[in-house]
Amino acid sequence: MNFVQPIRDPEYIRVIKKFLKEKNERNYMLFLTGINSGLRISDILKLRVSDVRRPYFNIKEQKTSKAKRIAMTPLLQRELKAYTEGKEDHEYLFKSREGLISQLAGAWPIKY
């Protein structure tokens, strides 16, 4: 099994965020949600718009089946509020485009 280290360099995170924000809002929000919540991509992809209307997530982790409450950072709250404006509560937060979400999830881990 391959072990992937998290990205710890704040400058590297800033560069990634800037790049994604300029290129694709959905991918930027996926990245921002992941680094600010610590959730696995499999749990992030199950979130619905209604799940982010509060300042915390209530989720059941797919891998461990444990119920968890995770507080959102002020930055994540602000960005998600703007991102979900005009969206219905029942909609998935991150919609797939041509099945690319699963490909993106597999491509994110960065080894170094």
Q: What is the pLDDT of residue 53?
A: 93
Give the type of residue at 80: L
Of 106, 86, 50, 99, nearest in space to 59 by CA: 50
Q: How do the domains of the chain map onto residue ranges?
A: 10-105
* Residue 108 in tokens: 């994110």
Residue 104 in contact with residue 30, Cβ under 8 Å? yes
Q: What is the pLDDT of residue 5?
A: 82
Q: What is the pLDDT of residue 104?
A: 54
CATH architecture of 10-105: Orthogonal Bundle (1.10)
Chain-centroid distance, C-alpha 29: 6
Q: Which residues of the chain have pLDDT under 50?
A: 100, 111-112
* Residue 43 in tokens: 């749990």
Residue 9 in contact with residue 29, Cβ under 8 Å? no
